[in-house]
């Protein structure tokens, strides 16, 4: 488990900042220096020197999330078919 800003979280986390319209999917806490790879005008990926993906940044996030599922974030267990849907607070 890693602590950032005194808040422990060992899990994947999706954050959205409507002030900048940016979403970030954090896969691992940053324990090393990362390099940000510009994939497209809408996506940046943070990589560690060993190739570990630390996170994915979505620019113009509300447009990306609204393209499909009307702003719903869907987490689906492919083995069981269980789904959890969350309405995202898009600006």
Quickly count helices (H) and strands (E) in the chain: 1, 9
pLDDT of residue 36: 94
pLDDT of residue 17: 87
Within 8 A by CB and 6+ apart from 13, the residues are: 25, 26
* Mean pLDDT, 10 residues at a time, the chain of 91 residues: 47 84 86 89 92 91 70 80 78 55
pLDDT of residue 12: 82
Query: Alpha carbon 42 to chain centroid distance?
Result: 13
Q: What are the φ and ψ backbone dihedral angles of 64, each rounded to 5 degrees?
A: -70, -45
- Taking the C-alpha atoms of residue 67 and residue 74, their distance in angstroms, rounded to an integer, is 13
The pTM score is: 0.70
């Amino acid at each position: 488990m890693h602590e950032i800003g005194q808040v422990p979280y060992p899990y994947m986390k999706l954050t959205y900042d409507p002030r900048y319209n940016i979403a970030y999917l954090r896969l691992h806490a940053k324990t090393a220096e990362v390099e940000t790879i510009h994939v497209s005008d809408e996506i940046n990926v943070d990589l560690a020197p060993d190739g570990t993906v630390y996170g994915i940044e979505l620019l113009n996030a509300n447009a990306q999330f609204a393209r499909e599922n009307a702003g719903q974030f869907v987490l689906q267990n492919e083995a069981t078919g269980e789904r959890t849907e969350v309405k995202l607070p898009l600006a």
